[in-house]
A and B are shown apart, each in its own frame.
Chain A
Amino acid sequence: MNLHEKRIPIIKIHDYLIVPIQVDMHDKLAIQLQSQILEEIAKTRAKGVLIDISVLEMVDSFIGRMLSGMASMAAIMDTSVVIVGMQPAVAITLVELGLEMPGVDTALNMEKGMEMLERRLNSRKTDSF
């Protein structure tokens, strides 16, 4: 019951999944979220995932690795992941930890993240034709 209360919502809009993380992440929740998102990607066949971490004040190395791991996992499933709204302090911490998250796309806010995904989807469409 307790676990269900703390579930992070995954919202589907058109081809995208939006994941607003609004609680402090702990390791168990992070692992749970990872599999939850991947299952949702498979179920909805979403083309892009936007993870909003704008309210997270702290991202430790575990969460950082979880996020970058998730991007590569989603990429294998033909889905792009964009991390949205990281706070300056969080970015500094991650860089100091040496977690530079290569290969993970980031955007300043939800709007810009959405644009980014759209751009990518469009270019993929023109590629295939």
Chain B
Amino acid sequence: MKEILNIKNTKERIDRIEDILASVASGDMDARINSEIEDDFSGIEAAIDLLINDLTDELRQRENMQKELENKLSKIQDQQKTILQQQEDLLELSSPVSKVWDNILILPVIGTLDSQRTQVMMENLLQKIVETGCTISILDITGVPTVDTQVANHLLKTVTAARLLGAECIISGISPAIAQTIVHLGIDLSAIRTKATLQDAMIFAMKQNKRADEVRALGNLALPNEKTD
């Protein structure tokens, strides 16, 4: 029993350490033991203080980093919102349907088509057909560089849907490259009326208009005849 530990007020100091540790654990990072007594136990107390200091620094750093990350995240989210908004605007802008003549709608398509854009186009065109009551619509794809299977399918669907509504849809301006792709892909466009240029389509549409008028006139003439039958 040579070595006898020189510790004063053991009970109180251990209690104090416990208190400090408890308050640190509950979030009070300013709590320190700060013992003024110099003996065998004070080393441990100093070590605990140092550990608490380190812990506080680490926590501060982490908080700062988190804040930074949150800032960046919100910035990115803002940017994403803008991009989405612009995409929507672009979609709206990219499918203008205009009535150019009695009974005739034109939808000029410029740029590369993807499924989403063709979907919006289809909806816009059908909506416009119902709104205006035009029975002939021209889908001009002169400004489209390439077409893939999905897009060709969508175009087919658009034409079929227009037919279901009771309107005719003409596709004009199919470029040599697109014609090649469509035939290579094995897509059958024979059920769809296609014209070389927008001009041809326009002429065809106006002829259809004229014919409809003539038939209407004929019908009006035929009605009185019917009564004499």
A106-B218 in contact (CB<8A): no
Q: Which of B72-80, B122-130, B143-151 contacts A (4 or more CB under 8 A)?
A: B122-130
In the complex, what residues of A have CB within 8 A of residue B167's CB? 108
Q: Which of A2-10, A24-32, A81-89 contacts B (4 or more CB under 8 A)?
A: A81-89
Give the residues from 107 to 121 in chain A that come closer than 8 angstroms, CB to CB, to chain B.
Answer: 107-109, 112-113, 115, 118-119
Question: A-B pairs with CB below 8 Å: how many?
Answer: 68
Most buried by B among A83, A95, A119: A95
Q: Mark B97-135, 1 if CB is under 8 A from A, else 0.
A: 000000000000000000000000011001101100101
In the complex, whether A122 has a CB less than 8 A from a CB of chain B is: yes
Docked pose: A85 CA to B167 CA in angstroms:
11
Tell me whether A108 and B133 are in contact in the complex, defined as CB-CB below 8 angstroms, given that A86-B165, A86-B166, A88-B126 are known contacts: yes
Give the residues from 139 to 165 in chain B that come closer than 8 angstroms, CB to CB, to chain A.
Answer: 157, 160-165
In the complex, what residues of A have CB within 8 A of residue B222's CB? 122, 125
Docked pose: A118 CA to B127 CA in angstroms:
27
Most buried by A among B127, B130, B161, B212: B161
B166-A87 in contact (CB<8A): no
Docked pose: A106 CA to B163 CA in angstroms:
7
Docked pose: A94 CA to B123 CA in angstroms:
14
Docked pose: A56 CA to B219 CA in angstroms:
31
A88-B130 in contact (CB<8A): yes
Chain B, residue nearest A122 (CB): B222
Q: Mark A98-112, 1 if CB is under 8 A from B, else 0.
A: 001100011111001
In the complex, whether B187 has a CB less than 8 A from a CB of chain A is: no
B163-A108 in contact (CB<8A): no
Chain A, residue nearest B131 (CB): A88
In the complex, what residues of B have CB within 8 A of residue A85's CB? 166
Most buried by A among B122, B126, B164: B164
Report which of B133, B135, B165 forms a contact with A88, defined as CB distance below 8 A. Answer: B165
In the complex, whether B216 has a CB less than 8 A from a CB of chain A is: yes
B130-A108 in contact (CB<8A): yes
Chain A, residue nearest B167 (CB): A108
Min C-beta distance of A102 to chain B, whole Å: 9
Min C-beta distance of A95 to chain B, whole Å: 5
B166-A118 in contact (CB<8A): no
| Extra contacts besides A91-B126, A92-B161, A106-B165 (14): CB < 8 Å | A83-B164, A88-B123, A88-B127, A88-B130, A88-B161, A91-B161, A91-B164, A92-B122, A95-B157, A106-B166, A108-B167, A112-B135, A119-B215, A119-B219
Using a CB–CB cutoff of 8 Å, the interface residues on chain A facing chain B are 83-88, 90-92, 94-96, 100-101, 105-109, 112-113, 115, 118-119, 122, 125
Using a CB–CB cutoff of 8 Å, the interface residues on chain B facing chain A are 122-123, 126-127, 129-130, 133, 135, 157, 160-167, 212, 215-216, 218-219, 222
13 pairs from A and B in contact (CB 8 Å cutoff): A84-B166, A86-B164, A88-B126, A88-B127, A88-B129, A106-B164, A106-B166, A109-B133, A109-B166, A115-B216, A119-B215, A119-B219, A122-B222
10 residue pairs, one from A and one from B, having the closest CB atoms: A88-B126, A107-B166, A106-B166, A91-B161, A91-B164, A108-B166, A95-B157, A118-B219, A95-B161, A100-B160
